[in-house]
Structure 1
Amino acid sequence: MSSATFKAFRIHRGDDGAIRAAIESLTLNDLNPGEVVIRARYSGVNYKDALAGTGRGRILRRYPLVGGVDVAGEVVHSDAPAFAPGDAVLVTGCGLSETRDGGYAEFVRVPADCVVSLPASLDEYAAMAIGTAGFSAALAVMRLEENHQRPDMGPILVTGATGGVGGFAVDLLAGRGYEVHALTGKPEAEAYLRELGASAVLDRRELELGTRPLESAQWGGAVDAVGGDILAWLTRTVRPYGNIAAVGLAAGTALDTTVLPFILRGVSLLGIHSVECSPALRREVWARLGDDLRPRHLARMVAGTVGLDGLPGVFEQVMAGGLRGRTVVDLAL
């Protein structure tokens, strides 16, 4: 098996620093070491994948690497007692397409600590329709509630609501009884967001961000998928003891705010980092995604399915902000 070839979408950096990505024929000997070999069935497209595949973001820390931060499939070899050939499994994060070869390949080899058994209520396609985006949204909801967020504290604002993380956040929060307001730069998506569970849709272009250290308190809490000035504005407009789960940076990495929201209103800013979760937390999040946090509108959130050769086009759509929802990658196409 180690000498058999298979297809993979591999990313290189040239001597001039230019990024090049293409479908190549690899063998297992070309992949990073690991205790578990997975015959990959499906992967997914995340914003981070588009940044890595186009070279427009510093995602990969070594080259070359197979792209793709998610994968689901069947174990074909395991040196770890927790997994056996035939097991249905998934991997999200864990350094895939950053420091390790990722999921855009017909075979993937990973450390056993990264592998999660597929919840019985999810098949491989559904798991990758959820992927890192849904995992991050579920982790955000869990952290909000662990820090005492409740529906009676007021409406939750979800920013970047038409993106992968934002859409899942709208769906999951509405399913748990929160009044969800969706913030988007795509007002034409209002019907879609209301279908996911938003009770109100705000046009980002009409926001008045204000300049005071504390603005009128509007939100019980928030899930922010964009960062930058929007996140700073949220710190100034969340109600006392509300929580903000910060999970994205599409609008920038700087945060221009003061300590006043934190010491005068008790606002909490919770960082959501899906890559380096402990194995126990990773298993817990996926167990809940297959149970009480299972997305209610998963089929509606899938924009389409592509093979490896369709990835460059999808990446360009993602970078242009022209794609709504999730794209699943079928490794058999």
Structure 2
Amino acid sequence: MEKFSGFRVKKINENVKTTVEKIEHTDLSEGDVLIKIAYSSVNYKDSLAIRQDGGVIRHYPMIPGIDLSGTILTTKDDRFQEGQNVLVTGYCLGVTHTGGFAEIARVPGDWVVPLPNGLSLKEAMVFGTAGFTAALCIQALENQGLATNKESKILISGASGGVGSLALAMLKKRGYKNIIALSRKKSAIPSLKNIGATEVLLIDEFMPEKIKPLAKQTIDFAIDTVGGDICSLLLSQLNYGGSIAICGNAAGIKLNTTVLPFILRNVTLLGIDSVNVPMHKRLAIWQRLATDLNVSSHELVNEITLQELTQTLDQLQAGTHIGRTIVKIS
């Protein structure tokens, strides 16, 4: 069978190397559905996959890429048909199962989401795992009371990243009036305001010398994409009954807090996972991404090829990447 192009991570003499090369179908992981990939997207987790100590890939060689959209070539799963447009995000894709940075993927049918009406294959990857995660965060907060008050003060950390920037745009589309963006990039302030932020705070000015268990109550809800001390500080600043949806750990995995925000201010910390979401909930979120949360015309989107992928992954690790990058595969 004809070979195809793919981005591969290899381990050579204990060093991790990346290359775009020709791949055979026998190099793909097992599955019921063979997909011709149109687009993938670049996420922080993908950048960890090419690091020696990233903790994402443990078996080499591997095709990374935790997202993909494309068209079914063949299927042994009668829930799908040849020629059908579909997408896959999460599960083990690009981690222990060959992923989306190639022209062809083979996946289990249980992972496959039919492309929702209203989204193109390209638009689906403008969202990808980042948009899916942002939508999960918003839905979790709306279930906690956010939906009842459009004037609520909502803070988004890591606002210039994929999840953060999409969350800003989605919240604006939903009609929320007080959206605070927290970022370390001063250069991103104009873009953050354009996509939805009513106020932008810079981390250097926001972080105190010492984080107190309880601080002045300033925000009602937060989407925290970075974790660590940022999450600890946000917990101390939540208004009574407020909630944080946390979905990332780029700033660290430890929390410096006490039980006081929880038992004195009745706050809630909501953990958001995008990898193992049950299919019924997954389908519902993608339906929202195609309708009331559809911000696929998001201005902070860059399109690259497989050959440009390593540079973008390095930018993510260096903290210089802004917005969303999608990969045009075929």
For normalisation by structure 2, the TM-score amounts to 0.95
Contact 1:305 1:329 in 2 (8 A): yes
- How many angstroms apart in 1 are the aligned matches of 2:296 and 2:17? 38
CA distance in 1 between counterparts of 2:251 and 2:211 reads 18
Q: 2:195 maps to which residue?
A: 196
Moved more, 32-41 or 315-324: 315-324
Question: Bigger CA drift: 135-144 or 24-33?
Answer: 24-33
Contact 1:308 1:331 in 2 (8 A): yes
Cα drift, residue 19 of structure 1: 1.3
Q: 1:142 maps to which residue? A: 139
CA positional deviation for 1:202: 0.5
1:30 equivalenced with 2:27 (yes/no): yes
Question: Secondary structure of 1:316's partner?
Answer: helix
* C-alpha displacement of 1:192: 0.7
Is the 2:129–2:274 Cα contact (8 Å) retained in structure 1?
Answer: yes
On the 8 A contact 1:175/1:296 being kept in 2, the answer is no
Provide the secondary structure at the position in 1 that maps to 2:215. coil
Deviations 1:133-181 (A, max 9, x none): 1110001101111222243573000001000000011111122222200
Q: Secondary structure at the match of 2:249?
A: coil
* Aligned counterparts, 1:59-74, within 5 A: 59-74=56-71
Does residue 1:311 correspond to 2:312, yes or no? no
Give the match for residue 293 of structure 1.
293
Query: Any unmatched runs of 5+ in structure 2?
Result: none
Correspondence for 1:284: 284
Using the alignment, how far apart are the partners of 1:153 and 1:94 within structure 2?
A: 36
Query: What is the Cα deviation at residue 55 of structure 1?
Result: 3.4
**Is the contact between residue 3 and residue 24 of structure 2 (CA under 8 Å) also seen in structure 1?**
yes
SS at match of 2:258: coil
Q: Is the contact between residue 171 and residue 296 of structure 1 (CA under 8 Å) also seen in structure 2?
A: no
Corresponding residue number in structure 2 for 1:79: 76
Residue identity opposite 2:241 in structure 1 = Y
Cα distance in 2, alignment partners of residues 67 and 99 from structure 1? 9
Q: CA deviation at 1:282?
A: 1.2
CA contact (8 A) 1:90 1:117 kept: yes
How many residues are paired up?
327
| Preserved CA contact (<8 Å) 1:72 1:90 | yes
Please say if residues 123 and 296 of structure 2, whose CA atoms lie closer than 8 Å, have aligned partners that are also in contact: no
The TM-score normalised by the length of structure 1 is 0.95
Number of the residue aligned with 1:275? 275
Aligned equivalent of 1:114: 111
Structure 1 contact 172–296 (Cα < 8 Å) conserved: no
1:171 to 169, 174, 181: 169
List per-residue Cα deviations over 1:197-234 (Å, max 9, x = no partner).
Answer: 11101111101434321111110110001111010001
Higher mean alpha-carbon deviation, 110-119 vs 313-322, is at 313-322
Q: Secondary structure at the match of 1:10?
A: strand
Moved more, 60-69 or 246-255: 60-69
**CA–CA distance in structure 2, aligned partners of residues 80 and 30 of structure 1:** 21
Residue aligning to 2:243: 243
Query: What is the distance in 2 between the residues matched to 1:213 and 1:241?
Result: 16
1:155 to 133, 139, 153: 153
Q: Secondary structure at the match of 2:21?
A: strand
Q: Check whether the contact 1:225–1:247 (CA below 8 A) recurs between aligned residues.
A: yes
Could you say what secondary structure the match of 1:66 adopts?
coil
Q: Structure 2: how far apart are the matches of 1:28 and 1:310?
A: 23
Q: Quote the offset at 1:54 in angstroms.
A: 3.6
Q: CA deviation at 1:235?
A: 0.8
The RMSD of aligned alpha carbons is 1.4
Matched residue, 1:265: 265
Uncovered stretches (5+) of structure 1, i.e. residues with no partner: none
CA distance in 2, matches of 1:110, 1:274: 18
